[in-house]
Amino acid sequence: MSFNYNKIFNIPERAIVNKKISKAFFMRNFELSSADKKALNEIVVMDWLANIKPSNANINVVHNEIYIYEEVQVMTCTISGNLIKGNIDRVINLFQKHIPYPIVLVVENADEFVVNVCDKKINQVDKSKRTIEAYINSPIISKLYKNEIVNAFFKGLDFAVLDKTNLETLYKSYTSAIVQYQTAQVTGTFNKRSSARTEDDLKHLETIQKIEKEIITLSNQIKKETQLNTRVSLNVEIQKKRKEISTITNLLSTL
């Protein structure tokens, strides 16, 4: 492993696995799509860092009609290319789609990394499979440079501070840290949040992303528009949307 991620996660030694995952593991056990095979080709190294479960962490299982939290896996994956959206999405999908356990996944290259979790529910048609409701990724993090927000994010991933009521709350603690790191990119401040507040903040972030896309569309329309009054109307609409983002940002900043 090129970077010691357990200096960030600080998972107890009894839960550490530190085993390589071979490409043959995926080829042998799963029916891979062309995108999955492309992801495998981009991967240099895969590591199984830790397996957090009741027997080694004394944390209770959660098993109901919607979720199973029997173990939480922590895995890392090194890719040869840049951490651009297409590369990251393919690799994350390869792990999260095929491996049924909740996974905290680190995707890295030589200089940067991303931490991923997902909302993985029991497939109601085939209980042995899982349905991915949402992927949640951290912003890209430099291995060489840390600022105050990154340091706060790393502290939020430390095993010592996670909610260990059960394995579901543990996994949601990782999720909360990632969402609050995303939020800090907007507000400039990293704040620890409850699970319920994290869900609200994630919705606000998704709304901001949607509005930003709308602003880009309107800006492109302005570039093509020849009528002055239409250009003015489009500019007014953009300003309204920027105010909407400002209002949501204020909500994200509220303690």
Residue 86's pLDDT is 81
Residue type (1 letter), 205: L
**What b/e sequence results for 17-48 when a residue is b if at least 16 CB atoms lie within 10 Å of its CB, and e otherwise?**
eeeebeeeebeeeeebeeebeebbebbeebbb
Q: In angstroms, what CA-CA distances link 185 with 51, 180, 189, 197, 249?
A: 30, 9, 8, 17, 10
Q: Average pLDDT for consecutive 10-residue bins of the chain (255 residues)? A: 85 96 94 92 94 97 94 96 86 94 96 95 83 92 92 96 96 96 92 86 91 94 91 93 92 84
Residue 83's pLDDT is 87
CA-wise closest residue to 252 among 175, 173, 158, 187 = 187
Residue 2's pLDDT is 59
Residue 196's pLDDT is 85
Residue 25's pLDDT is 95
Give me the sign of the Cα torsion angle 101, 102, 104, 110: positive
- What string of DSSP letters covers 134-181? EEEEPPPEESS---HHHHHHHHHH-GGGS--SBHHHHHHHHHHHHHHH
Residue 137's pLDDT is 95
Residue 1's pLDDT is 44
> Rounded to the nearest 5 degrees, what angle is found at the Cα of 126, between the Cα atoms of 20 and 36?
40
Residue 234's pLDDT is 92
> How many residues in the chain?
255
